[in-house]
Structure 1
Amino acid sequence: MVPTCIWWTIRKERNQGHFEGKKSNIQKIKADCLGIYYFWCKQVAIDNIGNVFNAIDWL
């Protein structure tokens, strides 16, 4: 799931830069990636949210 999350975030940022002329710094890109990862994990493991926090801490 992590590689897909990174790919999704980079693709989204690339499209925003290309089509909307927006540029983001690396800290915003990292925060967006972690936010998307958290959201996806929360949707999959809704009953055990502790594992999601452990996975984010591991990153």
Structure 2
Amino acid sequence: MVPACIWWTIWKERNQRCFEGKKSNIQKIKTYCYLFYFWCKQVVMDSTEIDWL
């Protein structure tokens, strides 16, 4: 899941730079990566709990 979070974050940053002309600093990019990771982790945990019911 970690590689997917990194790729997603890089992809989003690339799109912002190419299409919107915006650039984020490295700290903001890291924060987005962490947030996406924890969001994915929560979604996976929630879905496994539902499967057990």
C-alpha RMSD over aligned residues = 0.9
Residues 18-38 of structure 1 deviation map (CA, whole Å, 9 limit, x = unaligned): 000000000000000000000
**Higher-helix-fraction structure:** 2
Q: Distance in 1 between matches of 2:43 and 2:3?
A: 17
Q: Distance in 2 between matches of 1:14 and 1:44?
A: 26
TM-score of the superposed pair, with normalisation by structure 2: 0.84
Aligned residue identity for 2:36: I
1:30 aligns with 2:30: yes
1:42 aligns to what? 42
Structure 2 residue runs of 5 or longer lacking an equivalent are none
Choose between structure 1 and 2 for higher RCO, CA contacts under 8 A separated by at least 6 residues: 2
TM-score of the superposed pair, with normalisation by structure 1: 0.76
Residues matched between the structures, number: 47
Q: Percent identity?
A: 62
Where do 4+ consecutive residues of structure 1 move more than 6 Å? none
Structure having the higher Rg: 2
Structure 1 residue runs of 5 or longer lacking an equivalent are 48-59
